Amino acid sequence: MRGYRARAVLAALVVTALAACAAEEPSGPREGNPPAAAGAERKAGESASGGASGALEAYAEKVRRTQAVRAAAARKWGLERTPLAAPPPPAEKPEITTREGFEVAGGDALPPVFTTVPTKEKIVFLTIDDGAEKDPELLRMMSELGIPYSAFLSDYVISDDYGYFGKMRDSGVALHNHTLNHRYLPGLSRARQEHEICGQQDRMEKRFGTRPRLFRPPYGNYNGDTLRVAKSCGIEAVPLWAAEAFPDRMEWREWDRDLHPGDIILTHFRGEDEWKGSMADMVRRVMRTVTEKGYAVARLEDYV
Report the C-alpha gap between 21 and 210 in whole angstroms. Answer: 37
Write the CA distances from 183 to 156, 173, 195, 282, integer angstroms.
11, 25, 11, 25
- Bridge partner residues of 72 (DSSP): none
Nearest to 216 by CA among 87, 86, 125: 125
pTM: 0.83
**What are phi and psi for residue 76, nearest 5 degrees?**
-60, -40
| Per-residue pLDDT of the chain in tens (304 residues, 90 and over written 9) | 444 444 444 444 444 444 444 444 443 333 333 333 334 444 444 444 545 577 778 878 888 888 999 999 999 999 999 999 999 999 999 999 999 999 998 877 999 999 999 999 999 999 999 999 999 999 999 999 999 999 999 999 999 999 999 999 999 999 999 999 999 999 999 999 999 999 999 999 999 999 999 999 999 999 999 999 999 999 999 999 999 999 999 999 999 999 999 999 999 999 999 998 999 999 999 999 999 999 999 999 999 9
**Distance between alpha carbon 159 and the CA centroid of its chain, in Å?**
24
Q: What is the CATH class of 113-302?
A: alpha beta
**Residue range(s) occupied by CATH 3.20.20.370 in the chain:** 113-302
Does residue 17 sit in helix, strand or coil? helix
